[in-house]
Structure 1
Amino acid sequence: MDARVLTGVGLGLLAPREATRRHLRAGLSIDSFFDELNRRGVRYAVLRWFETLPDVDPGEDVDVLVADEDLPLLRTLLGSHRVAPARQAFDVYSETGLPGSDFRGIPYLSPALAARVLDRAVLSRGRYRVPSPADHFDSLAYHVAYHKGLRSGLPAEPGGRPATDDPEHDYVSILGGLAADVGLSVRPTLADLDAHLAAAGLRPPLDTLEKLAEANPWLRDSLDREFGPADADLPGLAVFVVREQAAGLLDRVRAELVREGWEPLVTVPLDPAQATRVRARVRGGNWGAGPFAVSGGGPAAYVVAFDLAAVVEGATSSPERVTASKLAVRRRLLAGQPSGARFNPLHSSDNARQALDYLDALDDPALVAGLRAQIAGLRAATAFPYPVVELLPSGRRRAVTAVVDHPVFGESVCKVFHPGAHRFLERELRARTEFADLPEVPALLEAGDTWLLSPRYSDTRAHVRRSLPGGPHAQLTPGTSLALARLARTVHARGSHLLDLTPLNLVSDAVEGLKVIDWEFLQDLPAERPPLAQSPTVLGRDDRSPDGDTPLGVSSYGGAVLTVFSARVTGVPARLLLGGAARWSVPLLAEPGMALAWLLLTLRTAVKRSRPRVVRAARRAARAVLVGLARRGR
């Protein structure tokens, strides 16, 4: 194959998805590029350093802001490349930060400033559209304060010293000259630029500022001083913004948030005035499709919720927790949607400080006061009846568990259920009474309206044969499997099933022996009782009762179903265990079966973990070859 053809193929393979950094297409000069933009009627503006065009300093790029609707018109003029060609580089930013023309996932400028720059752009030297003098100052001030921060060479406050003596540009002199040209008196400090932009209505909303602050320490400290800490003394508060396409799914959104461990406090359908304010103030004003096939539309409603993981005084709720819940709810809302119809149904605040800012857009001070009262009520309702020795790790979706100091029983385990999770408390109490004759059921020491008390069992892990690779589960000893089979037969005979019966919910106490520690998903079998082998206790899911409660864990959600009766856990088929097999046959068959299952899982895990490394190595090697060919073909 001709080297030039091979090089062309290689460059095609190396071309990434459309990105902010782009390069002139071959055969185009800088001037011909701008002439073509003007001929096509593209609404754009060269943001800075345009005075010397078409001359650009070596290694410098040209920063261009373009209207959203005109972004596709640039594709035939500029291209994205994995290997930068020896042609002029451009950074292309769209008005609302569309994918591939954004700044770290957000719009480059605030919506108001971007619109103003494009609307008032002027033609410089008859060829280059550039910001008006006033917009030139404002857009550069925005760049310095929010993108550069202390790296700009400007001091943070009046009288302060610059953090660097060698900035990329002399922003102090440049900004001073631009301000003088338009009759502005703005001191060249980061605080003064920020105050000027805020007064002009050009400062981005808080959620955007927080994203910018991730790479701007001055801005991060400034936000903390202005708005207080990220938890805003209300850790766990979040606002989930339901978009127009999902406006009919409000009940479903609330139900899914409950499953994720959130307590919905209030739902606020947005009236037209509120929707307009929220649209401008949230998500950086960008309500486009993003990575989805179609847009979810603008904001339609708020679901204000509280993270029950933070219900205990002093506990926190991390941005990762909010994000994980939002993504999980999105996945379940979109389940079954064809790829071409998928949209973003839900946005959220990242922390309580953002949540309060979102709520401020509603202009309803009484709402926040009511929310504070509701959260205080949740905390009071989840208070422990005895002094807490230590909190125990848990997802806290339905309850909070702690070791408490009881005046009679000493150190015991207390489980306090959230107000909306009373049915789970009732199931635990039912297990401790109706099934108290089973040795695997924990003893009930005491109970209240919202809590129950159990002994503090140790865990010798005597029930574990070996840990399974690639996850938290373990294989069980044959004696444990036989005991659990007896338990399953009894529960089934009494017309019930227990979901989430997994190795993770077992302990082996040195004195009391094997215990099943979680009975929250004890539920009745349907009237038409299935065979034991088809019971949800064994299968880990309840296909016959879709309205029944189903845990979110790996054992019984989605396709990864694993229970204590899975062959990879026991080494034998479930039917053999459940059919009352001779006690000698299970130990005889279990060990070879478990060893084989462990070996297969080990091999599968090793292959799964090595595959990305192999693929990355192959890509690096192919890229190196193609880069070499590309360079020789230049």
Structure 2
Amino acid sequence: MQSETPWQENSVFIEIGVQCADVALSLRHEGYSNYLGVSKNAAQVATLQSKHPELAEDLVHTQQRKVVRRNNAQVLILSGSSVLHLWKYRSVRHADCVAWRARSSPLALLGMLGCLLQMLTRRYSKPEIVSLQTPEGSTCRMFVTRVLRPKLPGQKSLHFIPHRLGITGLFERFKEREAKYVVLRWFDELPQIKPNEDVDLLVADESLESVLDILHSEPGIQPCDLYSERGLPRSDYCGTPYYPNSVAKRILENAVRHNDLCMVPSEHDYFHSLAYHAVYHKGLKSDLPVSGATQPRKSKSDHDYATILQSMAERLGIDVEISLEGLHNYLQQSGWGPSDEMLARLAIACSRNPWLQTLASRLEDHVHDQGLAVFVVRREAVERELLKQITDMVEDGGFEILATKKLSAKRIEIGASQTRGGNWKLEGHFDISGGPPAAVIIAYDDKPLPLTAKQKKKFKTRTNARLFVKEHIRDVLCKELTVGERFNALHSSDHAADALHLIETLVPELMEEVLDHLSDSSQTITIREEVRRAA
């Protein structure tokens, strides 16, 4: 029997398929208040709420699909037939722990069998028995297993609105914290939310931490997608910002209050941000015609983008063809569209969006030159005087070194917030953090190598197999360090657009010379202090 529970006092508990109040009452009696019971049986929920009014706010009926998978549980409790999801690791891997009642029933035994089979692939830990006391003094026993390879449910921007707060309470909490945000679209019917509809939020970078704290504070099952200005961790779109930085700032600065409930884009910004979403995020799935000369696609989208955008354009007096081509050209000309580099990054990250592939194919050749690579050396490596060793290893890996440059303190600060999703903290199996970017190595490979099928499966956006020299350099340096001192010394681009983004952010003064080199390989980058020219 387990005397200590494998969770924290403030852990978020969500019970799926709740049939009785035993678990909820036991957790409450033991001091765990962050609980939500979920059932698809409305009558069952109503009965429990009537019998246990103190739990009324902690029980909810829903018909949401994939509710087992789409929630913010840290401890996921499976009751009734939901215990069979122990066989479906993808459904539960977002939680820290999975629990189910310790009984001799067929369902409990089937759940245990699923758990044991998943243990063979090291996905679950050996289950423990945890005993909780009910208010009446009886014992509620549960099997508990730890998820050994957790993974977030869906895209990294997916979060969940705390159930007790609800959408109205969420906006009130944002107001109390002075969070800068907007609800991006489909806000006319709020606080009502249609079934299986998400709430899309854009927040200022400085408000992100506060907003995440609110969203993660209590259990919730209502999805919301959260995006920050620069696409910081847990608020990016396929590894990129949701909008260009200048566009996101404009939307937030011009936000207006809607129905004394929440902040939304101004009418002018709503049209442009919705058009951007339809063209670059939805693409063909928006059901917009490709051009004015083509017929609209058969409607598969949940929203009629063509009619909505046409009506908004007429009301605003904007003369634009409501098609993918027409809106793309208009957004580019009006300063609302993505840069070539951002468009190329989107196309690589969203490989299943054929419209993005079409737009990217029209970009200038240098955006697609997969020989270009940028290696970002982190501060710990620079301070340990490893820059030359790393540069030599990059060169030994088959790259021509175009330039190396140490970054100024100001450029380090800017680069740390605008690259790698702003996440330069300790990660993975390293002992200490490698720190922010401190130096840049710009390199070129005139004969990029294709990735193997296995490599492509793991590194979906990488386009040159020689870039695996990054992992090799990390391994070599870690072997030279003592245990307790190992750190991640190196970050790199995965493709040409990524490399251009790093150059533009970290060493913009070298961009013109790099582009000259790409257009004419005989060109060399001008020698200057701290800069190493290609041989």
Q: TM-score, normalised by structure 1?
A: 0.49
Residue type matched to 2:470 in 1? K
Q: Residue 132 of structure 1 corresponds to which residue in structure 2?
A: 266
* 1:432-581 equivalent positions in 2, closer than 5 A: none
User: Which digits, 9 at most, give the CA deviation of each residue in 1:69-100, with x for residues without a partner?
Assistant: 3223234542499xx96x43212222222222
| Maintained 8 Å contact 1:288/1:296 | no
Q: Which residue is equivalent to 1:301?
A: 440
Show CA shifts across 1:394-428 (max 9, x none). Answer: xxxxxxxxxxxxxxxxxxxxxxxxx99xxxxxxxx
2:195 counterpart of 1:50:
no
Q: Deviations over 1:310-363 (max 9, x none)?
A: 69xxxxx97141542334334555664988995674332503x66567768547
Report the counterpart of residue 261 of structure 1 in structure 2.
398
Following superposition, the deviation at residue 148 of structure 1 comes to: 0.4
What residue in structure 2 maps to residue 188 of structure 1?
A: 322
Change in 2 beyond 3 A, CA 1:349/1:192: farther
Give the whole-Å Cα distance in 1 for the aligned partners of 2:445 and 2:522.
7
Q: Secondary structure of 2:246's match?
A: helix
Partner of residue 350, structure 1: 495
Does the 8 Å CA contact 1:266/1:305 hold for their aligned counterparts? Answer: no
Say which SS state the counterpart of residue 363 (structure 2) adopts: helix
User: Hey, what does 2:19 align to over in structure 1?
Assistant: none
- TM-fit CA distance, 1:309: 5.6
User: Which residue type is aligned with residue 96 of structure 1?
Assistant: R
Tell me, yes or no, if the aligned pair for 2:470 and 2:490 is still in contact at 8 Å. Answer: no
CA–CA distance in 1 between the matches of 2:177 and 2:247?
24
Query: Aligned match of 2:292 in 147, 158, 161?
Result: 158
| 1:35 is aligned to 2:172 | yes
Q: CA deviation at 1:271?
A: 8.1
Identify if the C-alpha distance between structure 1 residues 245 and 152 changes in structure 2 by more than 3 Å, giving closer, same or farther: farther
| C-alpha distance in structure 2 between counterparts of 1:327 and 1:205, whole Å | 30
| 1:261/1:309 contact within 8 Å kept | no
In structure 2, C-alpha distance between the alignment counterparts of 1:180 and 1:295, rounded to whole Å: 53
1:3 aligns with 2:57: no
Is 1:74 the equivalent of 2:208?
no
1:239 is aligned to: 374
Letter in 1 for 2:224: F
CA distance change for structure 1 residues 173 and 163 in 2, over 3 Å: closer, same or farther? closer
Partner of 1:319, secondary structure, is coil
Shift of 1:22: 2.4
The AA in structure 2 aligned to 1:217 is P
Task: Tell me what 2:102 maps to.
Answer: none
Please report how far the alpha carbon of residue 279 of structure 1 lies from its aligned counterpart in structure 2 after TM superposition: 8.8
Q: What runs of 5+ residues in structure 2 fail to find an aligned partner?
A: 2-21, 28-34, 37-74, 78-94, 99-146, 451-460, 525-533
What secondary structure sits across from 1:33 in the alignment?
A: helix
Distance 2:485 2:249 in 1: 30
Aligned AA for 2:424? A
The verdict on how the C-alpha distance between 1:31 and 1:310 changes in structure 2, with shifts beyond 3 A counting, is: closer
Give distance in 2, aligned partners of 1:334 and 1:48: 47
Q: Which of 353, 360, 383 in structure 2 is aligned with 1:223? A: 360
Alignment of 1:90-169 (within 5 A): 90-169=224-303
Distance (Å, rounded) in 1 between the aligned partners of 2:484 and 2:292: 54
Q: Which runs of 5+ in 1 are unaligned?
A: 312-316, 378-418, 421-634
CA deviation profile, 1:152-198 (whole Å, cap 9, x unmatched): 01122231233443322111121223333433222212223223332
1:550 aligns to what? none
* 8 Å Cα contact 1:99-1:291 kept in structure 2: no
2:470 is matched with 326
Structure 1 window deviating more from structure 2 (176-185 vs 113-122): it is 176-185
Q: Which amino acid aligns with 1:346?
A: H
DSSP 3-state at the match of 2:251: helix
- AA partner of residue 193 (structure 1): L
**What SS does the aligned partner of 1:54 have?**
coil
Match for residue 69 of structure 2?
none
In structure 2, the partner of 1:173 is 307
Asked whether the equivalents of residues 279 and 299 of structure 1 are also in contact (C-alpha less than 8 Å), the reply is: no
Q: What amino acid does structure 1 have at the position aligned with 2:374?
A: V
Alignment partner, residue 88 of structure 1: 222
**Any conservation in 2 of the 1:265–1:304 contact (CA below 8 Å)?**
yes
Change beyond 3 A, Cα 1:101–1:310:
closer
SS where residue 22 of structure 1 aligns? strand
Name the SS for the 2:191 alignment partner. coil
Between the aligned residues of both structures, percent identity stands at: 31
Question: In structure 2, do the counterparts of structure 1 residues 139 and 77 end up closer, same or farther at CA, with 3 Å as the change threshold?
Answer: same
Equivalents in 1 of 2:486, 2:267: separation in Å? 44
CA distance in 1, matches of 2:485, 2:212: 23
Give TM-score, length-normalised by structure 2: 0.57
Query: Judging changes above 3 Å, is the alpha-carbon distance between structure 1 residues 295 and 211 closer, same or farther for their aligned structure 2 residues?
Result: farther
Q: CA deviation at 1:37?
A: 1.0
Write out per-residue CA displacement over residues 238-266 of structure 1, whole angstroms, 9 at most, x where no aligned residue. 33345666556542331120232222233
One-letter amino acid of the structure 1 residue matched with residue 204 of structure 2: A
Q: Give the drift of 1:215.
A: 2.8
CA offsets 1:35-79 (integer angstroms, 9 cap, x no match): 111111111110000111101111111111122332232345424
User: Does the CA-based 8 Å contact 2:331-2:337 persist in structure 1?
Assistant: yes
For the 8 Å contact 1:239–1:304, the answer to whether it is kept is yes
User: Is the CA contact (8 Å cut-off) linking 1:240 and 1:347 kept in structure 2?
Assistant: yes
Aligned with 1:289 (options 419, 424, 446): 424
Structure 2 distance, partners of 1:178, 1:276, is 40
Distance 2:486 2:326 in 1: 46
RMSD: 4.3
* Compared CA separation, residues 217 and 369, structure 1 to 2 (3 A): same
